[in-house]
Amino acid sequence: MSNRTVMVTGASMGIGRACAERLDRAGWNVIGASRRGTSSGAWHSLTMDVDDDSSVAQGIASVVHDHGRLDALVTCAGWGLAGAAEQTSTEVAKAQLETNFWGTVRCVHDVLPTFREQGGGRIVMIGSIGGVIGLPFQAFYSASKFALEGYAEALAYEVAPYNVHVTLVEPGNFKTDFTKSRRMVNVPSTDPYAAARDRAISKMERDELNGADPASVAVTVERVLNAKRAPRRVSAGKMNERAGLFAKRVLPYRVFESSIRGSLGV
C-alpha cells in the first residue's frame, strides 16, 4: 500500500486533516493540500487554493511530477454559511459554491487525465447529509452539497469505462473547527427571520459540538479507497442522523418534513 499516492484537500483541519492522518498511518503516500498549507510533518504538505484554477492545475501537476502517479483524490475543502436565504447576497452565495462545489470540480477536472492515462483511480467527495436533506438557514451550504450529489452521480457514468470510481461520503454532525469558522450572513436591523434563524442555528451548533469524532469519517474514507467495489454513496456519523436519509427515501414528503422539523430546529 505504501506506493499508493492520495491527495486530500482541506487537509489543514477537520475532516480533511483526519483523513490525511488516517491514510498516512495506513501507509498511503499522502499529499495534504490546503490554502494555508499544513503544519504536520507526517505527510507532504501542498499549498493550493481550490478556488483558483491556476493554483489547482499547478498543484496537481506538481504532485504527478514529483510522485510519478496519483491514485486517489479525497476532496474535503469547504466551509459553512448560515443565515436566511433571502438575506444572503448573491456574492456571498457564489463564494459558498465556489469552494464547496467548484473547488471539487476543479480538482476532479485536473486529476482525470492522469487517472485515465494510468488506467484508473479513486475519487472520494466529502458531501453531507445536508446535500440530501435541505438545512434551513444553511440554504446555500445545502445547495453546494446537493450540487455535488448530481455532479458525482453523472460523472461516475462517464468515467467508469476508464476504471475511475466515484464515491460520495455523506457525513452528519462532527465536532470540528467547522462550527467556529462558519460565516454568518449580515442581517438588517429589523429582521423577520431572527427568532427562527437563531433557534435553528443554535440547535445546529449544539449538534455539531456534540457530534461524532471526525476520525470516524476517515475510517469510512479508508474503507472506500480499499473496497474492491467502491460504493456510490455512504453515510457517516450518528445513526439517528443517518436514519434521516432512509426516511426521506421512503416516507411521503409531508410526513418526512413533519417528523424532521424538530431535529432541524424549525
Q: Which residues pair with 123 in a beta bridge?
A: 73, 166
pLDDT of residue 189: 85
C-beta separation of 111 from 31 below 8 A: no
* Top-confidence residue, 109 or 211: 109
Cell digits of residue 128: 453531507
Q: What are phi and psi of 46, to 5 degrees?
A: -130, 125
**Kind plus residue range of the DSSP H or E element containing 259:** helix 253-264
* Residues 8-24, mean pLDDT to the nearest whole number: 94
Whether 1 has a pLDDT exceeding 50, the answer reads no
Say what the pLDDT of residue 207 is. Answer: 83
CATH number at residue 234: 3.40.50.720
Domain span holding position 127: 5-264
**Angle at alpha carbon of residue 169, lines to 152 and 85, rounded to 5°:** 75
Q: Is the pTM of this model over 0.85?
A: yes
Q: Which residue has the higher pLDDT, 50 or 247?
A: 50
Above 80 in pLDDT, residue 265? no
Known catalytic residue at 141: yes
The band of 39, judged by pLDDT with boundaries at 50, 70 and 90, is low
Cell, residue 13: 483541519
Q: Where are the beta strands (DSSP E) in the chain?
A: 5-9, 29-34, 44-47, 72-75, 81-82, 121-126, 164-171, 183-184, 233-236
For residue 124, is pLDDT > 90? Answer: yes
Instruction: Quote the percentage of the chain above a pLDDT of 90.
Output: 70
pLDDT beyond 90 at 212: no
Q: Three-state DSSP class for 187?
A: coil
Query: Mind listing the pLDDT tens digit for each residue in 157-211?
Result: 999 999 999 999 999 888 777 777 889 999 888 999 999 999 998 888 888 888 7
User: What is the pLDDT at residue 41?
Assistant: 65
Average pLDDT taken over every residue of the chain: 92
Range with the poorest average pLDDT among 93-107, 155-169, 225-239: 225-239
SS3 of 126-154: ECCHHHCCCCCCEHHHHHHHHHHHHHHHH
Q: Express each pLDDT in 79-91 by its tens digit.
A: 999 999 999 999 9
Per the CB < 8 A criterion, the answer to whether 47 and 71 are in contact is: no
The count of domains in the chain is 1
